[in-house]
Structure 1
Amino acid sequence: MTVHEQTRPASLAVKVPQVTALFWVIKVLTTGMGETASDFLARTIDPPIAVAGAAAALAVALAVQLRADRYRTGVYWIAVVMVSIFGTMAADVLHVALGIPYAISVLFFAFALLVVLVVWYRTERTLSIHTVTRGRPELFYWATVLITFALGTAVGDLTAATLGWGYLVSGLVFTAAIGVPALLFGAGRLNAIAAFWAAYVITRPLGASFADWMGVPVSRGGLGWGTGPVTAGWALVIVVLVVVLATVPEKRALPRFDRR
Structure 2
Amino acid sequence: MKNNEQNLDSNRDNRSIGRQMLNKVPEVTIYFWIIKILATTVGETAADFLNDNLNMGLTNTTIIMSVLLLITLFFQFKARKYVPRVYWLAVVLISVVGTLGSDNLTDNLGVPLQTTTIIFTILMLATFAMWYASEKTLSIHSIFTTKREAFYWLTILFTFALGTSAGDLIAEGLNMGYWKSAIMFAAVIGVVAIAHYRFKLNSVLAFWIAYILTRPFGASLGDFLSQPHHNGGLGLGTMGTSALFLITILGLVIYLTMTRIDAPKLAEE
Give yes or no for TM over 0.5.
Answer: yes
The one-letter code of the counterpart of 1:177 is: V
Using the TM superposition, give the Cα deviation of residue 248 of structure 1 relative to its aligned residue in structure 2, in angstroms: 1.8
**Which deviations, in whole Å up to 9, do the C-alpha atoms of 1:95-143 show, x marking residues without a partner?**
1111111111111111111100011001000000011013101000000
CA distance 1:242–1:7, shift in 2 (3 Å): farther
1:27 aligns with 2:39: no
Structure 1 partner of 2:46: 37
RMSD: 1.8
Could you tell me which residue of structure 2 aligns to residue 14 of structure 1? Answer: 23
Shift of 1:250: 1.6
Tell me what 1:78 maps to. Answer: 89
Which residues of structure 2 form unaligned runs of 5+?
1-14
1:120 corresponds, among 116, 127, 131, to: 131
Percent identity (aligned) = 40
- After TM superposition, the structure 1 = structure 2 runs for residues 228-243 of structure 1, keeping only pairs within 5 Å, are 228-243=239-254
Equivalent in 207, 211, 227 of residue 200 of structure 1 = 211
Partner of 1:255: none
1:217-256 matches, within 5 Å, as 217-250=228-261
Is 2:68 the counterpart of 1:54?
no
CA distance in 2 between counterparts of 1:8 and 1:182 reads 35
The answer to whether the 8 A contact 2:26-2:262 is kept is no
Q: How many residues end up aligned between the 2 structures? A: 249
In 1, distance between residues paired with 2:126 and 2:177? 31
Matches of 2:33 and 2:89 in 1, distance apart?
15
In the alignment, residue 142 of structure 1 is paired with which amino acid? W
What CA distance in whole angstroms lies between the structure 1 residues aligned with 2:46 and 2:31? 22
TM-score of the pair, normalised by structure 1: 0.92
Q: Return the TM-score normalized by structure 2.
A: 0.89
> What does residue 256 of structure 1 align with?
none
| Separation in 1, partners of 2:17, 2:248 | 32
If you compute each CA radius of gyration, which structure gives the higher value, 1 or 2?
Answer: 2
CA contact under 8 A between 2:76 and 2:87: conserved in structure 1?
A: yes
1:106 alignment counterpart? 117
* Counterpart Cα distance in 2 of 1:116 and 1:109: 10
User: Is the aligned partner of 1:160 residue 2:174?
Assistant: no
1:200 partner SS: helix
